[in-house]
Amino acid sequence: MTLHHPALEAGRKASRIPNIWDAAAFGLLFATFVLFIRGGHETFAPIDALSSTPISLDPANLPEYALRTVLRMLAAIIASLLFTFVYGTLAAKSRRAGLVLIPILDILQSVPVLGFLSFTVTGFMALFPGRVIGVEFASIFAIFTSQAWNMTFSFYQSLKTVPADLEEASRSFRLTGWQRFWRLEVPFSMPGLVWNTMMSMSGGWFFVVASEAISVGNTTITLPGIGSYTALAIQDKNFGAIGWAVGVMLAVILIYDQLLFRPLVAWSDKFRVELSAGGEAPRSWLLDLVRRARMFRRIFLPITHVVSALPRQRMAFPVAPPRAAMSVWRSVWVDRLWVVAVAAAALYALWLIWSFVATELTGPEILNVVWLGFLTMVRVVVLMALATVVWVPIGVWIGLRPKVAERVQPLAQFLAAFPANIIFPFAVVLIVHFKADPNIWLSPLMVFGTQWYILFNVIAGASAFPNDMREASSIFRIGGWSWWRKVILPGIFPYYVTGAITASGGSWNASIVAEVANWGDTKLTAVGLGSYIANATTAADYPRIVLGIAVMSAYVILFNRLLWRPLYAFAGSRLRMN
């Protein structure tokens, strides 16, 4: 039979002549390749290379440092994605695995990542003795631990909420597990995953900067990157260099956003499940460019073919497991066995921690650490309240004006991504100059990078506020405080809570770098749990690091359970708009 079909005709008639978009697409692609090779090349060098070519404050080196930083970021995000797919799938598909994996994930996301740097660095260096790659892995791992958990949660949540009719359709058409994963589950989870990946990236810059210059006890390891450049500039009290670092960081985030995330967001728009075509679809010039570049697409056709054919393969097991085995596997006895095994493992873990911490720590010290945690908590609470009072009205004002919101929203997201630790030195200089009390004035640094989450979520909430409700309230002349209380605050509350959860978690984490700040030889310390962990890390005092991290995790978990979760549930049940 001959095929005469519009779908195929359209492809046949397309011109084979390259167009201007091809030139642009090729340029971009190959420039990226070259940069990758340059950056990756040094990763496999022996570790002595790090000391033989020390970091230089010459701004000419900054592009290369920036590249190294970006590559670390990219590696971490890929690792996070792989982790997300495996862990999320396991937790969602296996009831028994989910029983254990989900609580673990919940705790993991409350653990202050920065506190663990000392462990991971020594661990990875032992894995690759004498190689730069070990340290690189440690840094990547630090970024990974700041990114993976919320992505995994988002994926797990999506897997659990796949629409029943699509699920039934794919089952009744007998799609295999592999096909269902790639054709249904991954696409369905895509919008949430892309959004959470973006959030993770925003948070990640902070950690990449913090993890490039690591000192554990007497050894200080600096990986070439923007973070170590900044660290050196702080040591040398070089304001000019810090200015350069800030500038390059801004540029890097901007480029990352334009080249990676805009296209991703624009592309993932097609995975939204709502069947109506309403709303403005997000766009990306890069995606448009690639879509227009004919020759470019033609050359990559074989690759796209393979990539798109793989998810369509059946990949089924050739033989089904015998029914008898299946019924044993599903029985209550295996459940019980599983519970016993998990309980045994948990007991062993507890014993392990206890034997590690109890070697030199006493009761009073533990109490003291709890007290330090309380001090840090007071800081977090006060600063969150301040940030709320400042940013909620501003966010509402902006969000209700679409023209302004359109301009400001990217800026707020951008500020959230900017690693606040780069500009800590400015604050230190000011505190020293005015002889201010570090216990108070170092604290704002904790929310410096995280407050923007509140701002841009509130803007999003106010922008989404239904027009008819605004009109109705102006018709009924609801104004002043009662307008705030009855109309807009309930409207933006769910969005505010979302932003505040991220901001408060981030602030706890930031306290580890914010409660201790250096400028040359000047060292400022605020009394709190963050500085306790930071000092223990510098002293390579492992039992105290573990204790500090455990107490901070406990605080974060309690904070989440007792405050944020109830608020979130409240926002979901009472204040939903529709």
Partner 1 sequence: MTNVEFNRVDTLVEHPVLVDVQGMRQVYHKGDNPDLVVLDDVSVTIREGEIVGLLGRSGSGKSTLLRIISGLLQASAGKVQWCGKPVTGPCEGLSMVFQSFALFPWLTVLENVEIGLEAQGVAAAERRQRALQAIDLIGLDGFENAYPKELSGGMRQRVGFARALVVHPRLMLMDEPFSALDVLTAETLRTDIIDLWIEGRLPAKSILMVTHNIEEAVLMCDRIMIFSSNPGRVAAEIKVDLMHPRNRLDPEFRALVDDIYARMTQRAPAGKVEKRVADGFPGTGIGMALPRISTNLLSGLMEALAAEPYNGEADLPDIAGELQMEVDELFPIAETLQLLRFAELEAGDVRLTEVGKHFVQSDVDMRKRLFAEHLVSYVPLAALIKRVLDERPTHMAPYTRFCEELEDYLSEDMAKETMSAVISWGRYAELFSYDGHARAFSLENPS
Give contact residues for partner 1 (rule: CB under 8 A). 1, 3, 5-7, 10, 163, 165-166, 168-176, 179, 183-184, 187, 190, 270-277, 309, 312-314, 574
- List residues bridging with 525 in a β-sheet: 516
3-class DSSP string for 362-394 = CHHHHHHHHHHHHHHHHHHHHHHHHHHHHHHHH
The residue among 411 and 569 lying less far from partner 1, judged by its C-beta, is 569
CB of 315 to partner 1, least distance (A): 10
CB of 224 to partner 1, least distance (A): 41
Q: What are phi and psi of 317, to 5 degrees?
A: -65, 135
The residue among 3 and 324 lying less far from partner 1, judged by its C-beta, is 3
Q: For residue 126, which amino acid is it?
A: A
For residues 246 and 420, what is the distance between their CA atoms, to the nearest angstrom?
Answer: 10
Q: Which two tokens stand for residue 487?
A: 């109309």
CB of 192 to partner 1, least distance (A): 14
CB of 153 to partner 1, least distance (A): 22
- List residues bridging with 213 in a β-sheet: 222
Maximal C-alpha separation, the chain: 87
Q: Which residue reads 């002349």 in tokens?
A: 477
Least Cα distance to 204 among 105, 74, 98 occurs for 74
The DSSP letter of residue 521 is T
CB of 566 to partner 1, least distance (A): 16
CB of 206 to partner 1, least distance (A): 33
Q: How far is CA 517 from CA 64, 162, 438, 463, in A?
A: 27, 47, 9, 38
The answer to whether the CB of 427 falls within 8 A of the CB of 442 is yes
The residue among 34 and 277 lying less far from partner 1, judged by its C-beta, is 277
CB of 236 to partner 1, least distance (A): 52
CB of 483 to partner 1, least distance (A): 20
For residues 458 and 190, what is the distance between their CA atoms, to the nearest angstrom?
Answer: 24
3-class DSSP string for 119-185 = HHHHHHHHHCCCEHHHHHHHHHHHHHHHHHHHHHHHHHHHHHCCCHHHHHHHHHCCCCHHHHHHHHH
CB of 200 to partner 1, least distance (A): 23
The residue among 42 and 167 lying less far from partner 1, judged by its C-beta, is 167
